[in-house]
A and B are shown apart, each in its own frame.
Chain A
């Protein structure tokens, strides 16, 4: 099927789908395309670097890190708290990102904040992906009452503002004196609770998309064939339909995750996300925005890390989308130029468009079809 799909594409100048796909499995094609997307590779490298540095430097879950300070530790001000790192001569210094007013090390705080943001992002991605798949699969595959109820629940959740829910949760978590299990859980694992909670409300767009995928895939011949040969519903869903919908799923989970970073920082900025004894990138900016004129570094570094994390995730998502999109034709600008022919170009659908729109069209021209129809058999 993959080769079929590829050979449908006319071999115009600079486009070599047939060669590219020959003798390769779906996974190999996707991997090859992803690795050929330079933006995505740069994004992946940057994200991996941030991830490793953030989690090893200040330690995580009680494991000590290699950096000499922690985010709570107060040390005497060096050079009035200005960053000691410099590019020329390349030096790291005592406090590379500087210190805040009372002498806490900004590098440690930023790394701690990056940890929190990445943790929340991953938790949200996992939970939203899981619920989204289950709800989308059930409503798209079984239709009928299940679909009606689940989709109405989705409609209700989609219009309830996330800010309200976050505020309510922050209030409930704040009542430590009550000693309920919820309060004690959130007081020790505030970040995890926030991530779980945001995950519980951000699955709705994913569920709609997955439902659309299941609606179109369940009408395909290979599903009929599986059903006739006696496969159970569970087997059809997991072995036949889900592998075909996995591209859309992964791409949109990635995009949900990049949006989640911004949501978390915004909530922390408004004071309903991560709370004061702990720290997060949004909270750091919120605490230090008044000090911009006197200590601008307190503002620059956390902000840069938000942008870097979000940007790299967006580029990874873009690369994944290009890799999974069956309509995508690999285009090589140099080769097209050498051929001198008119370049027939593909619509490179990227990061920030389409996904949330598809759910709202009555019968919009949806996804072209499955990538690999016979995979489950």
Chain B
């Protein structure tokens, strides 16, 4: 095992060396960094050219300049020496500094989108696998192919037009006409009826309930101008919490496990009480506090589960902890909604909250809630675009993996010995289906930071992709090399992790040492 890892790392280092040399030469060969000065008629022409030659060491030919760069870059490997030197970009800024900023921008952009795409994709994949050859399956399959065929820049422009400009116009006067409310209700009803499955009567009932619910909610929202002053309030949190408690218990322990259901419901009650207690504290919120509160909610849930106990304490604890976490999330959501009017009327936002470009509104001021709302409104469109594009592969992959598992003999055995369908699906099938998915997830996380060149361009986010494109445009090898090295190293490391994870999760697969 150690031999295998060692060998992989050495190979990776050699590949990286070769590839980086190649990339350096290509970037250097792609154009003339002095071009903008050549046509310059002013007398400082020579001085400017000399300054840039000095800065980028252009007097050394590129094949040799690479080794100068390499000498600096190699120092990054020495731990804690803080002598990392990736050279300077064309403006004289150290590349390590530019990389740091770009990395933060890219990660905030891509992380949320990837996590959501993985969660939604796996869920859809499992549902379509369990309902193979249903209308839902065909619909999702077609949508997956469609999303897979969409060019992201096209989607991005559409989202800007309808998601940002259209929605902002709507927010100016948030009234949903009765016909539109009915229309959306019908669409929701049909979707639910298709997704519900089972006998026709059940489908129609589910569709009708969904139609009535959605239409009523929209009419209520329109009448109370909810979109201008949104909020959940304790009552909705309590009702939604009870729903969450039942759903979580159903999936994690089964409704027959009364103790688990009780502990989940108790944690909802505790959550609603905490809603009132936390309000003053949340006014002073910081990011760290939110994280600590999230951990606290999980611990409270586990404590409730432990105290309720029963013959299977672990299951109660799990159900209560997940429920408690989700109720905590609802409380957070409610607090964000409370901050919405302040953000909406902010002098910088001026009632057009959904942004089309950038990562923050310039010069915006406000408390934690306003600032984080600001970054959410900037992130929402690129995140949507990225989710749409990457959803398809997760859905299809999970579906085929799940189908393969559901045909295994041990699934038949599990059914034959009388296990409930929930146990068969969630415990025997789902966990095994996750093995191949784990590897592609690891691989995608490795590709995260190189991620979204086009998305960054369309939404003007100054992340890694921007740095890379900018470097190419100005024939500036150092930033290009910096981005390339970061991307290549993470990709290779996660590639190795994916291989190791596969062999750790699936004992049939062994790495060769």
Residues of A within 8 A of B (CB): 152, 155-156, 159-161, 163-165, 167-168, 171-172, 258, 262, 265-266, 269-270, 282, 285-286, 289, 292-293, 299, 303, 306-307, 310-311, 314-315, 318, 331, 333, 344-354, 357, 360-365
Contact = CB atoms under 8 A, between A and B. Distances in A.
Contact of B151 (A163, A282, A364): A282
A368 B152 CA distance: 35
20 contacts: A160-B26, A163-B472, A164-B472, A168-B26, A171-B31, A258-B149, A265-B153, A270-B453, A289-B157, A293-B161, A307-B146, A314-B149, A345-B132, A347-B404, A348-B403, A353-B397, A357-B436, A360-B499, A362-B509, A363-B510
Interface string B469-513: 100110000001000100110011001001100110000111110
A315 B30 contact: no
B116 to A, nearest CB: 18
Contact count band on B: 35 or more
Nearest to A303: B154
B443 A360 contact: yes
A262 B23 CA distance: 23
Interface string B381-410: 000000000001100110010011011000
A258 to B, nearest CB: 7
Contacts of A282: 151, 153
B493 to A, nearest CB: 12
Contacts of A161: 23, 450, 468, 484, 487
Nearest to B440: A357
Contacts of A269: 151, 153, 454
Given A156-B19, A362-B499, A363-B512, A350 B154 contact: no
B386 to A, nearest CB: 14
B249 to A, nearest CB: 29
B509 A363 contact: yes
A266 B145 contact: no
A349 B154 contact: no
Query: Which 8 pairs of residues, A with B, have the shortest CB-CB distance?
Result: A310-B149, A168-B30, A353-B397, A311-B149, A303-B154, A347-B404, A347-B403, A171-B30
Contacts of A315: 145
Given A266-B153, A344-B407, A360 B145 contact: no
Contacts of B364: none
B133 interface: yes
A29 B378 CA distance: 53
A27 to B, nearest CB: 26
Contacts of B29: 168, 172
B397 A270 contact: no
A346 B161 CA distance: 42
B70 interface: no
Given A318-B145, A351-B396, A360-B439, A270 B469 contact: yes
B512 A362 contact: yes
Contacts of A160: 19, 22-23, 26
Interface string B17-54: 01100110011011100000000000000000000000
A331 B133 contact: yes
B274 interface: no
Nearest to B157: A289
Contact of B157 (A152, A292, A318, A350): A292
Q: Which of B11, B153, B154, B487 has the most CB of A within 10 A?
A: B154
A311 B14 CA distance: 39
A363 B450 CA distance: 27
A352 B510 contact: no
A213 B488 CA distance: 27
A313 B152 CA distance: 18
A344 B404 CA distance: 11
Contacts of A331: 133
Given A168-B29, A315-B145, A344-B407, A285 B157 contact: yes
